[in-house]
A and B are shown apart, each in its own frame.
Chain A
Amino acid sequence: MARTMRGYFARKLVYLFITILLIMSFNFILFRAMPGDPLAAIFGKHQPNNETKQMWINKLGLNDSIVIQYFKYMIITFQGDLGTSFGYLTNTKIADILPTYLTKTIFLSGTGTVLAILIGIIYGREAAWRKGKMFDKVATTTGVVLYSVPTFLFALLYIMIFAKIIPDWPFNGSESDNYASLDAIGKFLDLAQHAFLPILSLILESIAGFALIVRSSLIDVLTEDYILTAEAKGLEGRDILKKHAMPNALLPVVAVIALNVGWIMGGTVMIEYIFGYKGLGYLAWEAILTFDLQLLQAVFFLEIIAVLIANFIADILNFYLDPRVKI
């Protein structure tokens, strides 16, 4: 068993590495296949003086052949140099400013994912348990409707309703201006208050998605023969659900979590933009606004790496939970 696990782990790791290499190559091609001067792509509308330009031509080796440029780019990126921002921020190393933005995005999407999974599972379980009854019908219809609502629409509606009822509610940013002067509890409450609406908008769609999957998977499982056996043994309804049905019904959910991370990441971009929450998505928006392609490239790269790592973790989890993967 240990050997197969190591083999599985190694294979996934190799795939992860290949995918990262692919992404980097893709990034390289994408931002160099653009029509026109590559320097224009790097600096955008903020053209520096000739000396800086010359320095960048030397540094990126734009006079070299495309193959050498490619290897140089790969090496530089592996060393953690994500380029320099010339649009949104002037002459700042992108790698230096990204961590603060990254933590906010990870906080939003991490909390969102965990909450969405927990609530979604309970929601779907209760609906499946009452299959065909009123509760199920209402829950499923609500689920389908919620699943069709774009994330940004939730955000707009919340802001509209909250602005009407509680005009003082903070709609912008991740903390108040006087954040530094607050005590520990005040700081926590302030952060929570600012994160409440973004997370609420972020998770509703995912909750619906998870709930619908859990429901259909649980309904499938509940018709299996071993459930009948459990019933014949004299187990009570809820015990069957807890001990026999749920563990099996959750397997497809674990597989979907990995795919959902990318989805939530996409939603985060939108939510951060609407709420002015200074995470990676907000940075991407600013980068587009200022035509700062170097920054956009870095943000894109980082988001993909984050999703890849989350996927990797989900794969490993899946291995422990689903014995079929081991074959």
Chain B
Amino acid sequence: MAWENKLDYRVATKNGVILAIVVILFTVLMLGSPLLNNTGRDLVAAILIFLASAMVPLLFLNLNKGSKDQRQLGLQIFGLAMLTDLALSAVIGLVLPAVTQTNVYDGVNLMIVSLVLTALIAMLEVMAFTSFVDIIGRGTAKNMAKKLGASRSEKLRLAVIRVNKIWNQFKESKSGMFALVILVVIFGMALIGPAIALENPNTVKYGGVGDSGGLPTSPDGTYWLGTDHQHKDILSQILYGAGTSLLVGFLAGAISLLLGTSIGLSAGFYGRAVDEVLMRLTDFFLVIPWFPLMIVLVAILGKSLWIVILVIGITSWSPTARVVRAAVLSIKEKQFIERSRALGGNNFHIIRKHILPNVFPLIVATSILLVAEAIFSEAFLDFFGLGDPNVVSWGWMLERAHATGAMLNFWWWWILPPGLMIILLVMSFYLLGDTLDEILNPRLKRR
């Protein structure tokens, strides 16, 4: 790591630990307070999660030691981590409870899981942002380059050039930019959607007594996209659904990516028996029809958002494993691996320093495609009535529309919006993955 001598990961600030304990105790006490309503508790929980995740960078970054440059860099990283944490805790504490209809404090389990998750993410953040500042922060890079030795400044310069080059190539691709714009819009919807929505789709709302089976109303001034048969606003449901799709897409994609990469890496790197066993397992998952498998798993394990995410994750990793294995096999035979081994590099060192960086471009492109497929699968499961009945999502909307007979009655405003959103989101991820794949893994030479 470039900044090894600058940021001492091992030194924990004693004061930071004490402060963390005090804050957590205080917040837990606050949570129990009868003065707060549920939303208040969520808010406090969000703050708690934020503080917990903020503590971690504090523990890792030694902000009051070292030279001026080192402290400045530490502060920059800390700032970046803070901003991300803020967004993250807002999602976990505010958006997630709104979407899943569970108050964070309601389930102590969810609370603990979120805390652990945020702490983990915060740790990764420090690592990621260290290299981020390294590469992207051009101003910093220039500043640092002046003060550092020539070799390091050269390294930084090259890194900056590489990122710029990728971006310039990306800018040229029309489909890539289109996908990026759509994704930014949908991300925006997921983040601020619940705040600007007309109503919470989960609130029980009928037109009047005995009006539970009323007719949907077509779009008008109040309800821009009309309402469903319970007079709930379609637009609000669309806004709430964006978060669900993205959440499922990214989490399930991450699980699948982790499984696929580690299995492909081990199979390719260790070879022989390990390879044979792991590849038979991969073939097994590759061959069995994914949808029936998911149906069976969800039917047995239960209909909850987390189970759906888990099931999608563990049923979709096999293509990634194949791709990664093939890449590892070709890299393994290169001479620099042999040299590294001759210099005394062990397996872990070789995988981390030589193999992972080389398969990384492949993983980036694959992971984006995985997200698209996870979103697809979630819509399928939801539509089949196997989604979490309490979570608003686009598949869920279509399922309800189908069950109510929206197609036969031509209630288009209930079918087209969620359908279009699914198509747009999935397509954007496909296009983005494709564009990045073309840039990072150039196979098709432009002849």
Chain A: residues with CB nearer than 8 A to chain B? 15, 18-19, 22-23, 30-31, 34, 144-145, 147-153, 156-157, 159-160, 163-164, 171, 216, 219-220, 223, 259, 262-263, 265-267, 269-270, 273-274, 284-285, 288, 293, 296-297, 299-300, 303-304, 307-308, 311
B447 x A269 contact (CB < 8 A): no
Report chain B residues within 8 Å CB of A266: 289-292, 380
A144 x B431 contact (CB < 8 A): yes
Per a CB cutoff under 8 Å, which of A144, A265, A311 touches B291?
A265
User: Given A150-B376, A152-B383, A153-B419, list of 15 further CB < 8 A pairs?
Assistant: A148-B430, A150-B383, A152-B380, A153-B422, A156-B407, A157-B407, A159-B408, A163-B407, A216-B444, A266-B289, A266-B292, A284-B292, A288-B386, A300-B293, A304-B288
B422 x A160 contact (CB < 8 A): no
Which residue of B has the minimal Cβ distance to A23? B288
Chain B's nearest CB lies how many Å from the CB of A290? 11
Per a CB cutoff under 8 Å, which of B283, B291, B419 touches A156?
B419
Q: Mark B275-300, 1 if CB is under 8 A from A, else 0.
A: 00000100110111111110111011
A262 x B288 contact (CB < 8 A): yes
B407 x A153 contact (CB < 8 A): no
Q: A144-B427, A148-B427, A150-B379 are in contact. Are A270 and B384 (CB under 8 A)?
A: yes
Report chain B residues within 8 Å CB of A15: 283
Per a CB cutoff under 8 Å, which of B283, B291, B410 touches A160?
B410
Query: In whole angstroms, how far apart are the Cα atoms of A152 and B419 in the complex?
Result: 10
Which residue of A has the minimal Cβ distance to B398? A156
* Residue among B291, B379, B412 with the highest chain A CB neighbour number at 10 A: B291
A163 x B408 contact (CB < 8 A): yes
* Residue among B175, B402, B409 with the highest chain A CB neighbour number at 10 A: B402
B430 x A164 contact (CB < 8 A): no
Is B415 an interface position by the 8 A CB rule?
yes
Query: In whole angstroms, how far apart are the Cα atoms of A262 and B293 in the complex?
Result: 11
Report chain B residues within 8 Å CB of A31: 300
Per a CB cutoff under 8 Å, which of B292, B386, B431 touches A303?
B292
A156 x B402 contact (CB < 8 A): yes
Which residue of B has the minimal Cβ distance to A18? B280
Query: In whole angstroms, how far apart are the Cα atoms of A145 and B293 in the complex?
Result: 26
Chain A's nearest CB lies how many Å from the CB of B134? 36
Report chain B residues within 8 Å CB of A304: 287-289, 292
B side interface size, CB within 8 A: 45
Report chain A residues within 8 Å CB of B299: 288, 293, 296
Chain B: residues with CB nearer than 8 A to chain A? 175, 280, 283-284, 286-293, 295-297, 299-300, 372, 376, 379-380, 383-386, 398, 401-402, 406-410, 412, 415, 419, 422-424, 426-427, 430-431, 444, 447
Query: In whole angstroms, how far apart are the Cα atoms of A23 and B286 in the complex?
Result: 12
Query: In whole angstroms, how far apart are the Cα atoms of A285 and B386 in the complex?
Result: 10
Report chain B residues within 8 Å CB of A220: 444
B289 x A265 contact (CB < 8 A): yes
* Residue among B384, B412, B426 with the highest chain A CB neighbour number at 10 A: B384
Query: In whole angstroms, how far apart are the Cα atoms of A157 and B401 in the complex?
Result: 12
Query: In whole angstroms, how far apart are the Cα atoms of A304 and B283 in the complex?
Result: 13
Q: A153-B423, A156-B419 are in contact. Are A270 and B380 (CB under 8 A)?
A: yes
Report chain B residues within 8 Å CB of A18: 280
Which residue of B has the minimal Cβ distance to A274? B402
* Residue among A145, A148, A219, A220 with the highest chain B CB neighbour number at 10 A: A148
Report chain B residues within 8 Å CB of A19: 283-284, 287
Which residue of A has the minimal Cβ distance to B418? A153
Query: In whole angstroms, how far apart are the Cα atoms of A288 and B409 in the complex?
Result: 27
Which residue of B has the minimal Cβ distance to A150? B379
Query: In whole angstroms, how far apart are the Cα atoms of A320 and B273 in the complex?
Result: 30
Which residue of A has the minimal Cβ distance to B290? A266
Query: In whole angstroms, how far apart are the Cα atoms of A147 and B412 in the complex?
Result: 22
Which residue of B has the minimal Cβ distance to A281? B292
Query: In whole angstroms, how far apart are the Cα atoms of A171 and B427 in the complex?
Result: 29
Per a CB cutoff under 8 Å, which of A152, A160, A263 touches B412?
A160
Which residue of B has the minimal Cβ distance to A16? B287
A269 x B291 contact (CB < 8 A): yes
Q: List 17 A-B contacts (CB under 8 A).
A: A34-B300, A148-B423, A149-B419, A150-B376, A150-B423, A156-B398, A157-B415, A159-B407, A160-B412, A163-B410, A164-B410, A262-B289, A266-B289, A266-B291, A266-B292, A304-B287, A307-B289
Report chain B residues within 8 Å CB of A153: 398, 419, 422-423
Query: In whole angstroms, how far apart are the Cα atoms of A159 and B401 in the complex?
Result: 13
Report chain B residues within 8 Å CB of A296: 295-296, 299
Report chain B residues within 8 Å CB of A267: 291
Query: In whole angstroms, how far apart are the Cα atoms of A114 and B161 in the complex?
Result: 49
Chain B's nearest CB lies how many Å from the CB of A288? 5
A273 x B431 contact (CB < 8 A): no
Chain A's nearest CB lies how many Å from the CB of B113? 21
Per a CB cutoff under 8 Å, which of B383, B409, B426 touches A270?
B383
Chain A's nearest CB lies how many Å from the CB of B182? 11
Report chain A residues within 8 Å CB of B412: 160
Query: In whole angstroms, how far apart are the Cα atoms of A19 and B422 in the complex?
Result: 35
B292 x A300 contact (CB < 8 A): yes
Which residue of B has the minimal Cβ distance to A306? B289
A152 x B430 contact (CB < 8 A): no
